[in-house]
Structure 1
Amino acid sequence: MTKLLAARYRAAAERPYLASALYALSVVPSTEVPTMGVDRHWRCYVSPAFVEATPVAQLAAVWMHEVAHLLRDHHGRAGLLPAADQRDHLRLNVAQDCEINDDLIADGQPLPPGRMEPGLFGLPTGQLFETYLPSLPSTPHAADCGSGAHGRPTPWELPGDRGPSSLGPVEAEALRRLTAEAMRAHRRGRGTLPAGWERWADEILEPTVDWRQALAGAVREAAAWAAGAMDYTYRRPSRRSGALRGVVLPSLRRPLPRVAVVIDTSGSMGDDELGAALGEVTGVLREVGVRGNRVAVLACDADVRSVARVTSTEQVALAGGGGTDMRVGIAAALAERDRPNIVVVLTDGFTPWPDEAPSCRLIAALIGAGAPQPPRWVETVRVVTS
């Protein structure tokens, strides 16, 4: 144990941005694990024989390797793969080792013999394991780093509620962010990082999300909610009315969702970016099935400049150029004769918002990385335009 902990201390001293994650691992000695491995609860299983036979410098590199599986959420990402890839967990483990080890090798870490790396399979460095996996041959004799890597529990792992203290998903995510911030501070101090770690830290601190997919999901959910809101109507009497002489019963109706798009046309918004983003919004609405006279578009700065029901972006007049108050546009949309079920506000976010949630679904499509966050009750999608 003294040698093992000395190796962890060396790893943390050499790469201090990994220190918090390294010291969060609980140690579980095990004669069943071949070398070292981790479970998804941040417990590190260690073979005493492996520790005795391995130099401290190499043990330090293995510490970095195992904690990288957990920091990069390999078990979570593995769970998104097709079932056939998940079942072939040793081959999956090799792909994950290739993603980690090329960074450790580039960082000068002395990994023990038998390490897996992309060059062994004629593959380029710097890729994610999802990219490596289809090109790998079957590897039945590969090392098993545990469920913290491939996601499949191994015979030498303890149940989740037994043994040393473990980390839950919330604590693990906070630790990932803490580590990413430490890496960013290291870079600001003119330190260097392997390319894989640099990419990972940037993704944790500034995640890249397909905003079109996120917006489509938000609108689809809101449209389903609106379409599912049933009400009674006498326009079409219930078929049960015939059983009751002299009584007319209402029938249930399921309304089609109506959408209003409020476009911020204030001086801080560029027409090119607005046009591109509006084109994507109308594409999303067509995909969801909301089109034609169920879509109203309002151009608004500090006042509503134009209102139109459109089927294409060419029909939109982006008039404006003054101050910014999207509350005016939202209120005008809700005052329309055909009151919308969903209001999408396309803005850079530099606007006041209503004091309370309106009686419809409100989605803010925020343009630009610097757009301030609206109130919590506003569903938010951040729009990235090229």
Structure 2
Amino acid sequence: MPLDRAKLLAARYQAAEARPYLASALYALTVVPSERVGTMAVDRYWRCYVAPAFVDATPVEELAGVWIHEAAHLLRDHHGRADRLSAADQRDHRRVNIAQDCEINDDLVADGLRLPAGRMEPRLFGLPGGRLFEEYLRDLPASPPHAPDCGSGAHGVAAPWDLGDHTGTATTGLGPAEAEALRRQTAQAVRAHTRSRGTIPAGWRRWAEELLEPTVDWRKALTGAVREAAAWAGGAVDYTYRRPSRRTPALGGRVVLPSLRRPLPRVAIVVDTSGSMGEDDLAAALAEVSGVLREVGVGGNRVAVLACDADVQAVARVTAVDQVELAGGGGTDMTVGIRRALAAQDPPNIVVVLTDGYTPWPPEPLSARLIAALIGDDAPEPPAWAETVRIPTSH
């Protein structure tokens, strides 16, 4: 059966007219007729394999919905995300495909798009909408025998109809760099459409915002900053005569050589206890810092915690977070706490400041490494020389 291209392209035109923010992605797909594919499927090169019999049997309105469905697999980088699944999940690629369809179709149905019968939706499995496919995958039952196959551009496993790296022909498709640029262009179009009309499903809005402004795992970022600073401070080796060098006996005892030592860093944690700070957010961030320090072997009297608003309210050397008293509640000036920490008899190598950012900062770099852990979505920037980790209040 020959492919009815006029009908197929009319459906794509209808999809692009109704959802103009997806137009660039829809028109980037290269059509490849194939009797081997069941309905429509994509590969990672943005080729869309189409069964002529499916086009003949499907109304234009439903074909328009399928166009958007297949483009969504590629825009959401489903094959790239599938490549990061466990080996066991990757082997069950049909089940992965079902989870991906659940991620896409709840948005499409809510947007009023018509899709062919038998589509996979979260409600069919008693699951809520609005999740990512990785979340659906955990709760899905074993794959049914007739699960969908949207191609390697979805689940990541090569399909019998794939052309592979088919370069130098009319069906070359897109490379990874071109595909990523197209995703960003589409995300920007989604954002612009949302601001002007506000009629885009929540799933598309979340996808666009995450792509344009990816969410950083603040716990990992804070852990990395503290670990790196501790390694830097621990690298400041020094000489000591308390433990003579192993080469001393070779000199017949006439000369005592010092040995190298790698000291543990001293850490000061300056906690903003002004009235604008939320106690739960402070406690969570302080627990993260304390946990990292314990892992790298820094604890006990090597960690000082200073509760500070406009003045230093309390100083303690603690071994556990629950020993910290978050006194304060007045104005805000972390400079006072930082200077107090550096004036100690054993000044710290690392200063971690937990604050909402609405504070003065020292005018120049410190003798210690400064990590500014900024709590809150709108926290202003600290000085450029400080290391910054942002901690959202909705963690």
TM-score grouping bracket, smaller chain normalisation: 0.7 to 0.9
Once the 2 structures are TM-superposed, how far is the Cα of residue 114 of structure 1 from its aligned partner? 4.4
Please, which runs of 5 or more residues in structure 1 have no aligned partner? none
Please, which runs of 5 or more residues in structure 2 have no aligned partner? none
> 2:245 pairs with 208, 224, 238, which one?
238
Task: Determine if the alignment matches structure 1 residue 329 to structure 2 residue 332.
Answer: no
Q: Distance in 2 between matches of 1:182 and 1:264?
A: 38
Within-5 A mapping of 1:240-319: 240-245=247-252, 246-266=254-274, 268-269=276-277, 274=282, 277-279=285-287, 281-286=289-294, 289-302=297-310, 304-311=312-319, 312-316=321-325, 318-319=327-328
Give 1:63's aligned residue. Answer: 67
**Residues 303 and 329, structure 1, Cα contact 8 Å, conserved in 2:** yes
Within-5 A mapping of 1:1-386: 3-23=7-27, 25-29=28-32, 31=34, 34=37, 35-41=39-45, 43-47=46-50, 49=52, 52-53=55-56, 54-121=58-125, 123-134=127-138, 135-139=140-144, 141-154=146-159, 156-159=162-165, 163-168=172-177, 171=181, 174-175=184-185, 177-182=187-192, 184-185=194-195, 189=197, 191=199, 193=201, 195-197=202-204, 199-200=206-207, 211-245=218-252, 246-266=254-274, 268-269=276-277, 274=282, 277-279=285-287, 281-286=289-294, 289-302=297-310, 304-311=312-319, 312-316=321-325, 318-319=327-328, 321-324=330-333, 326-354=334-362, 357-358=365-366, 360-377=368-385, 378-384=387-393
Q: Distance in 2 between matches of 1:248 and 1:333?
A: 36
Q: Distance in 1 between matches of 2:280 and 2:135?
A: 35
State how many pairs are aligned: 380
Q: Distance in 2 between matches of 1:282 and 1:375?
A: 24
AA aligned opposite 1:249: L
TM normalised by structure 1 equals 0.80
Indicate the SS of the match to 2:271. strand
Indicate the SS of the match to 2:81. helix
AA aligned opposite 1:219: V
Q: Distance in 1 between matches of 2:60 and 2:282?
A: 58
Q: Distance in 1 between matches of 2:228 and 2:78?
A: 29
What value does the CA root-mean-square deviation take over the aligned residues?
3.6
Once the 2 structures are TM-superposed, how far is the Cα of residue 13 of structure 1 from its aligned partner? 1.6
AA aligned opposite 1:384: T
Once the 2 structures are TM-superposed, how far is the Cα of residue 92 of structure 1 from its aligned partner? 0.9
Q: Distance in 1 between matches of 2:394 and 2:136?
A: 30
Indicate the SS of the match to 1:10. helix
Q: Distance in 1 between matches of 2:186 and 2:238?
A: 48
Q: Distance in 2 between matches of 1:160 and 1:383?
A: 45
Alpha-carbon distance change, 66 to 300 in structure 1, aligned in 2, over 3 angstroms: same
